[in-house]
A and B are shown apart, each in its own frame.
Chain A
Amino acid sequence: MKKYLAITGPIAAGIYCFLYLPILVIVLNSFNSARGEYEWKGFDLRWYRTLFADEAALSALQNSLVLATTSAAIATVIGTLLGYGLNRYRFPGKRTFNGFLHLPAYVPDIVLASALLLFFTLLRQRAGWLAPGMTTMILAHVTMQIPIVAIIVRARLEIWGDSYEEAAADLGASPTKRFRMITVPLMKPGVIAGGLLAFTLSLGDFVVSLFTAGPGSKTVPILVYQKIGSGHTNDLNALSTLIIAISALTAIIVALIQSSRRYQDT
């Protein structure tokens, strides 16, 4: 295999450049003292200063973070219970439900977004519930996040099956103690990883947010989208860089948790 490194190496380098070029452009431009994005005029933090003076940008940042945190928290609780329940217990219609659980990963997000838009609008028109805003966004995001958390937690439980719980039962641990002393500690990395991924998923989403947002709940991607046409966007680069940094950080933490050897089966 190693002998092909000479061929695959340059290709891989090219692909990595291709993937990181857009991210790099945004990050560099956020530190670019030039107005406009096309030339480099030296390192400058002025766009970050403008950003922190800009009410709209700050409120978008706040909205993004509130949305991501709240939805991830709700999805982690519900998704963890769901992943555990699906792994352990039987109920009629489980196979069908499993199919629906995997659907959001494959369905284009615009379908999900338009379905939710339609659903929320009808609810508002018919029953007067749910004006578009933070609530509808949270509801929509949690719907996207629950499958991720549940699937990750369930996968974690599937890795070691029931062998450790059986061993604990054999050693005299009652069901409650088994759950507290064996299941919870072993499930924890999966729950943390699932929660963090739910958080990044929310930060990385644009389409579903756009369709379910209200006038007062603009998030960073929506703000950027609306301002793209209007020319100078250096301060938006700074805002995007912040979001990218948070996403990247969580992605790294998740990868480290998932590949950590400490909890792996032997």
Chain B
Amino acid sequence: MKSRNKKFKGWSVEHGVMMGRRGHLWRSMWLSGPGIAWMTLLLVCPLAVITWMSFMDRGPNGEIVARFTFDNFALLGGKGPFGYDPSHLEVFVRSIFVGGVTTCACVLAALPLAFFMVALPNRLQRVALIMIAIPLWTNVLFRTYAWQILLAPDGLLLTPFVKVGLMEPGQHIYPGWRALMIGMVGCYLPFMVVPVYTSVKQIDWTSGDIARDLGADKMTAFTNAILPQIQPGLMAGIIFVFLPATGQFVIPNLLGGGKTFVLGNALEQEFVVTHNWPLGAAYSVFMLAFVAAGLLLHTRMTRNRQEREPMVL
């Protein structure tokens, strides 16, 4: 009896199968193994390689020299070969600005839309959600290129403004900041709407009533009882929009024109045009660190709450 118990020490029955540590390892190897191997080889390794590359030096002819250096990061920080050069720093500031404005605009648009969707009958809610999913899965390039057509000086969208007199004939907003922002919001709005909608749908509206019953006025009841309940979805949406938006390159490239040179463009430039790989890698590493910091902050803030991660898919 005793010896038998010893054999099963540390074992547990999970999903109806009795198993010990080795059973878990063995099954993990066959099931998760291929996925882990693939992700290690094609996600972790490339990211490691790019991190390594960011510390490499370049020879006189632009070839990569395997010599450890911090020069690339120093260059990003403003220490150019001829003294202080803020051009790379400006790229960061501009990117974060673009990402931030896009996120704010998406929040402002997603909130009323989510409240509208929740007020619909169930069947229509599903249709409304599918209507959000379709643009989400449509190629960004096509949508961006369509905005080029729409925002052209004599295009569909600007003609009414010209007729009313808000704009002068021939004046154009593309390429430029305004076109860039329109394209960005159009691209990222669905990513905000889905998590915010999920949160709004789960709101316990009675808590608002209770708050009002306890003497809160309409506004206080909303900000103190309803808004905190949307917070998880809002946070998820912000993370989902802000992090990728700072690294967007198709939209700034096609709609922004030369003045909106952001991180994405810089990366493309270094990798495809000038072939300064170490510098491009430094840009990537910076962006990775930025994303990691954002994600860590997000998990920190949501750790105490036991909530399922909002599914944007």
The yes or no answer to B148 lying at the interface (CB within 8 A) is: yes
Closest to B27 in A: A89
A252 to B131, CA, bound (A): 9
Q: Which residues of A have CB within 8 Å of B86?
A: none
Interface contact A108-B287, CB-CB below 8 Å: yes
Q: Which residues of A have CB within 8 Å of B133?
A: 251-252, 254-255
Which B residues from 237 to 295 make CB contacts under 8 A with A? Answer: 239-240, 243-244, 246-250, 254, 263-264, 267-268, 271-272, 277, 280-281, 284, 287-288, 291, 294-295
Interface contact A250-B43, CB-CB below 8 Å: no
Closest to B200 in A: A1
The yes or no answer to A50 lying at the interface (CB within 8 A) is: no
Closest to A239 in B: B142
Interface contact B149-A29, CB-CB below 8 Å: yes
The yes or no answer to B134 lying at the interface (CB within 8 A) is: yes
Interface contact B36-A97, CB-CB below 8 Å: yes
Interface contact A175-B17, CB-CB below 8 Å: yes
Q: Which of B77-85, B150-158, B168-176, B227-235 contacts A (4 or more CB under 8 A)?
A: B150-158
User: A11-B113, A162-B16, A247-B138 are contacts. A22–B130 as well, Cβ < 8 Å?
Assistant: no
A252 to B32, CA, bound (A): 29
Interface contact A89-B32, CB-CB below 8 Å: yes
The yes or no answer to B93 lying at the interface (CB within 8 A) is: no
The yes or no answer to A101 lying at the interface (CB within 8 A) is: yes
Closest to A158 in B: B308
Set A2, A88, A91, A166: member contacting B25, Cβ < 8 A: A91
Interface contact A22-B142, CB-CB below 8 Å: yes
User: A111-B287, A115-B49, A221-B142 are contacts. A166–B16 as well, Cβ < 8 Å?
Assistant: yes
Set A110, A122, A224: member contacting B142, Cβ < 8 A: A224
Interface contact A228-B148, CB-CB below 8 Å: yes
Q: Which residues of B have CB within 8 Å of A79?
A: 35
Interface of B is mostly: helix
The yes or no answer to B205 lying at the interface (CB within 8 A) is: yes
Interface contact B25-A23, CB-CB below 8 Å: no
User: A228-B254, A248-B138 are contacts. A109–B147 as well, Cβ < 8 Å?
Assistant: no
- B261 → chain A closest CB, angstroms: 14
The yes or no answer to B303 lying at the interface (CB within 8 A) is: no
Closest to B245 in A: A108
- A248 → chain B closest CB, angstroms: 5
Most buried by B among A11, A114, A197, A244: A114
Interface contact A85-B267, CB-CB below 8 Å: no
Q: Which residues of B have CB within 8 Å of A224?
A: 141-142, 145
Which A residues from 213 to 232 make CB contacts under 8 A with B? Answer: 221, 224-225, 228
Interface contact B140-A204, CB-CB below 8 Å: yes
The yes or no answer to B6 lying at the interface (CB within 8 A) is: no
The yes or no answer to B164 lying at the interface (CB within 8 A) is: no
The yes or no answer to B311 lying at the interface (CB within 8 A) is: yes
A-B pair number, CB within 8 angstroms: 286
Q: Which residues of B have CB within 8 Å of A243?
A: 139, 142
User: A11-B112, A108-B244 are contacts. A23–B31 as well, Cβ < 8 Å?
Assistant: no
Set A158, A251, A256: member contacting B137, Cβ < 8 A: A251
Interface contact A150-B35, CB-CB below 8 Å: yes
User: A1-B119, A22-B142, A106-B244 are contacts. A86–B32 as well, Cβ < 8 Å?
Assistant: yes
Closest to A161 in B: B15
Closest to A82 in B: B35
- A265 → chain B closest CB, angstroms: 14
Q: Which residues of A have CB within 8 Å of B297?
A: none
A166 to B17, CA, bound (A): 9
Interface contact A88-B155, CB-CB below 8 Å: no
The yes or no answer to A259 lying at the interface (CB within 8 A) is: yes
Most buried by B among A115, A201, A252: A115
Interface contact B130-A251, CB-CB below 8 Å: yes
The yes or no answer to B96 lying at the interface (CB within 8 A) is: no
Interface contact B109-A15, CB-CB below 8 Å: yes
Most buried by B among A37, A101, A139, A142: A37
User: A106-B294, A110-B264, A118-B277 are contacts. A15–B148 as well, Cβ < 8 Å?
Assistant: no
Closest to B31 in A: A85
- A139 → chain B closest CB, angstroms: 6
User: A81-B34, A225-B141, A255-B129 are contacts. A162–B15 as well, Cβ < 8 Å?
Assistant: yes
Q: Which residues of A have CB within 8 Å of B21?
A: 90
Q: Which residues of B have CB within 8 Å of A178?
A: 16
Interface contact A250-B137, CB-CB below 8 Å: yes
- A204 → chain B closest CB, angstroms: 5
Interface pairs A-B: 9 shortest CB-CB: A108-B247, A85-B31, A82-B35, A169-B16, A85-B32, A22-B146, A8-B116, A119-B46, A115-B46
Given A119-B46, A221-B139, 12 more pairs with CB closer than 8 A: A23-B143, A25-B146, A78-B34, A89-B28, A100-B39, A103-B291, A106-B291, A108-B244, A115-B47, A206-B250, A224-B142, A244-B138
User: Can you list 27 contacts pairing A with B, beta carbon distance less than 8 Å?
Assistant: A8-B115, A12-B113, A22-B142, A22-B146, A23-B138, A37-B149, A38-B156, A85-B27, A85-B31, A88-B15, A89-B23, A89-B27, A90-B28, A91-B25, A106-B294, A107-B243, A108-B263, A110-B264, A114-B280, A115-B50, A119-B50, A178-B16, A225-B141, A243-B139, A247-B134, A248-B138, A251-B136
